[in-house]
Amino acid sequence: MPNELVKGYERFRKGYFLQNRDRLLTLAQGQSPRIALVSCCDSRVDPTVVFDTSPGELFVVRNVANLVPPCEDGGFFHGTSAALEFAVTGLNVSDIVVLGHAQCGGIAALMDKQPNTENQSFIDHWMSLAAPAREAALAGDAQNRYQACEHSAIELSLQNLMTFPFIKSRVDQGTLSIHGWYYDLAQSTLSRFESSEKGFVSLTDN
């Protein structure tokens, strides 16, 4: 049994829970987050820590490499799609953020994959969603092709978000906004994808 989790829970019960009891009791009646965030499941990138948020403020969807699959009804990639559907049509979030990050293991696995090899693992199959990002990174002249692929994967996920009718209709109506952000762990910098700039621009003060 992971005793460190049990000990952490005890600290939570005696500390955070008691200090925030009213807030947590309110949340027990239901949630109404304004922001849905698609993040990597990397243990080093916890959105609630990075953005200093409290329970109930973010609806977080985590998967390998923070990928959004395209809208489809006959394949295998429905976990993230179902969460997004609930966030948009059930919770009526006003913003969706795709949060990529530096040193992403999923992107590294995609970039290091040998050509003409079959997708034999769950990771290989999932990361095949980002194959166009890999191709773009390899075709470009970026010095750091891993980062280029991380950036391109965010752009691809933004494009895929717009293939969902329930997202596109709300974006077109102006009731929903989508964003692509990139977090650098080592530098603690945050940047956003800006289509007019055809790249990422800083969101943080240097």
For 48-85, write each residue's pLDDT tens digit.
999 999 999 999 999 999 999 999 887 666 899 999 99
157 shares a domain with 78: yes
Per-residue confidence (pLDDT) for residue 119, from 0 to 100: 64
116 shares a domain with 60: yes
Residue 47 to residue 39: CA distance in whole angstroms: 7
What's the maximum distance between 2 C-alpha atoms anywhere in the chain?
A: 57
* For residue 206, pLDDT beyond 60: no
2 shares a domain with 89: no
For 81-98, write each residue's pLDDT tens digit.
999 999 999 999 999 999
137 shares a domain with 102: yes
The amino acid occupying position 143 is Q
8 shares a domain with 72: no
17 shares a domain with 66: no
* For residue 105, pLDDT beyond 60: yes
Torsion sign (Cα): 135, 37, 166, 173: negative
Please tell me the total count of domains within the chain: 2
88 shares a domain with 4: no
Cα-based distances in Å from 6 to 1, 47, 122, 148, 192: 9, 22, 31, 40, 38
84 shares a domain with 3: no
Q: Order across the sheet with 95-101: list the strands.
A: 58-63, 35-40, 95-101, 177-184, 189-194, 199-202
151 shares a domain with 103: yes
End-to-end CA distance of the chain: 43
119 shares a domain with 38: yes
Over residues 9-16, mean pLDDT: 96
**Is-contact 102 147, C-beta < 8 A?**
yes
65 shares a domain with 26: no
pTM: 0.93
Residue 206 to residue 201: CA distance in whole angstroms: 12
Highest mean pLDDT among 17-31, 64-78, 127-141: 17-31
- What is the CATH classification number for the domain harbouring 168? 3.40.1050.10
Question: Exposed, middle or buried, 153 (CB in 10 Å: 0-12/13-18/19+)?
Answer: buried
Helices 145-161, 105-112: inter-axial angle, 10-degree rounding: 110
Question: Measuring CA to CA, which residue among 109, 105, 147 is closest to residue 131?
Answer: 109
Per-residue confidence (pLDDT) for residue 196, from 0 to 100: 74
Per-residue confidence (pLDDT) for residue 121, from 0 to 100: 86
Residue-number span of the structural domain to which 6 is assigned: 1-30
* For residue 102, pLDDT beyond 90: yes
Per-residue confidence (pLDDT) for residue 148, from 0 to 100: 95
For 174-200, write each residue's pLDDT tens digit.
999 999 999 999 999 999 999 877 789
Per-residue confidence (pLDDT) for residue 44, from 0 to 100: 96
Over residues 107-115, mean pLDDT: 88
Q: Where are the alpha helices (DSSP H) in 63-121?
A: 79-85, 105-112
Question: Measuring CA to CA, which residue among 36, 65, 43 is closest to residue 182?
Answer: 65
174 shares a domain with 127: yes
Per-residue confidence (pLDDT) for residue 77, from 0 to 100: 62
